[in-house]
Every structure is written in C-alpha cells, then in structure tokens.
A = this chain, B = another copy of it.
Amino acid sequence: MTEERTLPVRAGVDLGGTKIQAAIVGPDGAVLGSARRATPVEGGPGSVAAAIASAAHDAARAASVALPARLGIGTPGSVDVQQGTVSGARNLSGFDGAVPLAELVARELEAEVRAPRVVLGNDVGVALDAEARLGAGADLASFVGVWWGTGVGGGVVLRGERWHGRGAAGEIGHVVVSIGGRRCPCGRRGCVEAYAGRRALEERARRLAARGTPTRLFKIAARKNRERLTSGVWARALEDGDELAGRLVDRAVRAIAAGAASAVNLLDVEGVVVGGGLGTRLGPEYAERIAAAMQPHLFRAERPPSVRVSHLGDLAGAVGAALL
C-alpha cells in the first residue's frame, strides 16, 4: 500500500453553480477519493477559491494521499487557459469580468502545498474528455456528448479528440429543433435547451403551476428543503407519476433526441453520451427513451448510434479536471 501511494496521483475540481466536486485520480484513472461542498453564494471569487482549495484537501484526505502540486479545475464560462481566467460564468455569484481563478486558488493552496500549479478548463469539456478516456466514450472513436443539466451543454469527440472548431464547438443545447419555437434562457428561440434545460423546465413548471396545472413538483422541493427544482426533485416527481413533470420531461427528451439525431445525421458518429445533473440522475431508462425518440429522425435508421449514460456520473467533471 505504501508503495502504491508514491505513484503519481492527480487532483481535479469541478466547479458548478450549486456544488464543488473534488476528486483524486490514480495513475490508472480510478477515483481514489472525493469530496463535495456547496458553492459559496457570498464572498465572490475569494470564497469560491477557498472552497475549491478545501474541497481538494478533503478529497486528498479521503484518498489518504498528499494533495498534488498540480490542480485542474473545470469551470463554467469562458476560460482563458494561458491567463488562468474565467469570464461570463453567470451561475457563480460575484464572477464579473475576467476572474483570475487559477491565481486565487493557487494562493489558497500555498499554505500547505509547495509551488501549487492550477490549470483551468471548461467544465463540460473536461467531463467529456474524462468520458472519452476513461468512461462511456472509451470504446467509441467518435461521439457526441449531451450534458443535460441546468442548461444543456455538450461536445463533439472525433477520433478520440474533442473538436473545438474556432473554440466554441459543442453547443448541442443550442441546436435549433423548432424554428420560431420556445424562448431559450440564452435569448434565442427553439434551441434544445429551451425545452430540456433544468432552468427552462423549472420556469415552465412554475408558469403552468401558477395557471393551475396540478403538480407535486414544488411540494417535493419544499420537503427536500430545495428552493430550486433540482435533478433529485424531478426524479422523485417522475417516480411518483406526477403528470406535469412527465409531460415536461417527455418534451425535453424529444428535444434532446432531435438535437442528437441532427448531430448524428451531420457527423455519423458511433455514439451519444448523456451526462450532466439530470442526465446522470435520470440514468439509463431515460437514455433509452432518448434513443427511441431519436430513431424516427435518423437518416441511417438501420444503424443507430449507441446512446449511453456517462459512466463517471457526477465525478466526470472532477476526473476530467484532474486529467487537465
């Protein structure tokens, strides 16, 4: 055991709007330890950086290893890798302008780690890299990732490498599935995310409930002490047979399926990997529903892609960040 622990381990953190997930990854890609905490909603980038450092330390403790000097962070927003800054991370409170997140976290780590080095990457992008190397995409040369969460993110992996285009490729959540359709949180109309993102689903549910459509969604949230309709709330409502939840999630499935089928018709990839908060939570049953709803749109219907759920689940982002 002592010998094993001297092998190089990697540390990664997935920074989300609601939680910070840290993981320590062994040389073979196995998760040796992990830790999670709520994302601070007060104190701005400084407290977020401190929480990231603490989560990383907790994960190292859970893995019984010393925290490595190099820490990868997957973050929402636009990342400038060279500068170590994040911009446009709207879900993180106080993240205005270009936040020097790498430097802030490095400073937090300095007390206990010698010469810490912090590397940033896009949250969905690193999660997809992890799935491509160690997870649901490891046996697929090419696939499309659909990260079904608060929004709908994604990515395109071609011959094992993420395709970046001019830097912003992979926006499967903003593939248009209904011209002139519903308004998306991004401001455009008819995007996949307008029907499938958790934020859009919640807005829709609130509006319909206010108009008198019966639903247990908000009671379940209250019972779980949640202000938001989290993935767990949706999962529970679906299990309970809540009609409104069922209807909205069916529609989300159809939107994701149309977007994924469009991507497959365009790229003829071997697979579709579904991840993200909702995707992971709803699991294989809903991946099958997505596959079934894709079928009538597939140009080569006789040879559908393999649709599967992220293997790394909630840890995909942290593992991917560790691989940065």
**CB–CB B297/A163 < 8 A:** no
**CB–CB A254/B179 < 8 A:** yes
**CB–CB A179/B177 < 8 A:** yes
Q: Report how far A218 CA is from B160 CA in the complex, Å.
A: 52
Task: For the complex formed, measure the closest distance between the CB of A99 and the CB atoms of chain B, giving whole angstroms.
Answer: 21
Q: Report how far A166 CA is from B176 CA in the complex, Å.
A: 24
> A32-61 vs B: 1/0 string, CB under 8 Å?
000000000000000000000000000000
User: What are the 9 A-B residue pairs with the smallest beta carbon separation, nearest first?
Assistant: A165-B268, A169-B268, A175-B262, A171-B265, A176-B258, A174-B299, A171-B299, A174-B265, A168-B268
Task: For the complex formed, measure the closest distance between the CB of A1 and the CB atoms of chain B, giving whole angstroms.
Answer: 45
What are some 7 contacts across the A-B interface (CB < 8 A)? Answer: A158-B163, A165-B267, A165-B268, A170-B266, A170-B268, A175-B175, A179-B255
Please give, as numbers and ranges, the residues of chain B lying within 8 Å of A179 by CB-CB distance: 177-178, 254-255, 258
Q: In the complex this chain forms, how many copies of it are found?
A: 2
Please give, as numbers and ranges, the residues of chain B lying within 8 Å of A299 by CB-CB distance: 168, 171, 174, 186, 188
Beyond A168-B300, A297-B188, whether A265 also contacts B163 by CB under 8 A is no
Please classify how large the interface on chain A is, using the bins under 10, 10 to 19, 20 to 34, 35 or more. 35 or more
Given A169-B268, A175-B175, list of 7 further CB < 8 A pairs? A164-B268, A166-B268, A169-B266, A171-B268, A172-B266, A175-B265, A190-B258
Taking CB as reference atom, which chain B residue is nearest A170?
B266
Please give, as numbers and ranges, the residues of chain B lying within 8 Å of A169 by CB-CB distance: 266-268
Q: Report how far A262 CA is from B255 CA in the complex, Å.
A: 13
Please give, as numbers and ranges, the residues of chain B lying within 8 Å of A243 by CB-CB distance: none
A165's contact among B168, B258, B261, B269, by CB below 8 Å, is which?
A: B269
Please give, as numbers and ranges, the residues of chain B lying within 8 Å of A263 by CB-CB distance: 266
> A255-279 vs B: 1/0 string, CB under 8 Å?
1001101110111111000000000
Taking CB as reference atom, which chain B residue is nearest A164?
B268
Q: Report how far A263 CA is from B177 CA in the complex, Å.
A: 12
> A135-156 vs B: 1/0 string, CB under 8 Å?
0000000101000000000001
